[in-house]
Amino acid sequence: KAGVTQTPRYLIKTRGQQVTLSCSPISGHRSVSWYQQTPGQGLQFLFEYFSETQRNKGNFPGRFSGRQFSNSRSEMNVSTLELGDSALYLCASSSSTGQPNSPLHFGNGTRLTVT
């Protein structure tokens, strides 16, 4: 079974631009969540989607948004990029039910650098 695939692996953007990151979950998984990882703040939850519906959202500004498609693939978008958005963005998928006891399977992340 293929793992969670995130594209692109690396991205360099300029302040004020917007960016879209893509995530393909493990086949059969319907829950997809996104995390931001930085040296200072660690791993922080962005949002979670299940069957195309956002069912949980972290404490991030509205510039951060996401969506999930009918095939469970997900995208996240960051508009008006700031230097502080530089981070590793991790996508994770879990099971067909996405229940709290289902372990998350992570992709290798997208490294976003904002200059």
**Interface positions with another protein (CB under 8 A):** 4, 31, 33, 35, 42-43, 45, 48, 55-56, 58, 90, 92, 94, 98-109
Q: Which of 14, 12, 68, 61 is nearest to 36 (CA)?
A: 61
Look up residue 73 and give its two tokens: 């693939």
Rounded least distance, CB 14 to another protein, Å: 24
Rounded least distance, CB 15 to another protein, Å: 25
Rounded least distance, CB 70 to another protein, Å: 20
The residue among 35 and 64 lying less far from another protein, judged by its C-beta, is 35
Rounded least distance, CB 18 to another protein, Å: 24
Contact 18, 81 (CB under 8 A): yes
The residue among 17 and 38 lying less far from another protein, judged by its C-beta, is 38
The residue among 9 and 63 lying less far from another protein, judged by its C-beta, is 9
Integer Cα distance of 96 and 83 in angstroms: 36
Residues 6+ apart with CB under 8 A from 107: 3, 4, 5, 6, 23, 90, 91, 92
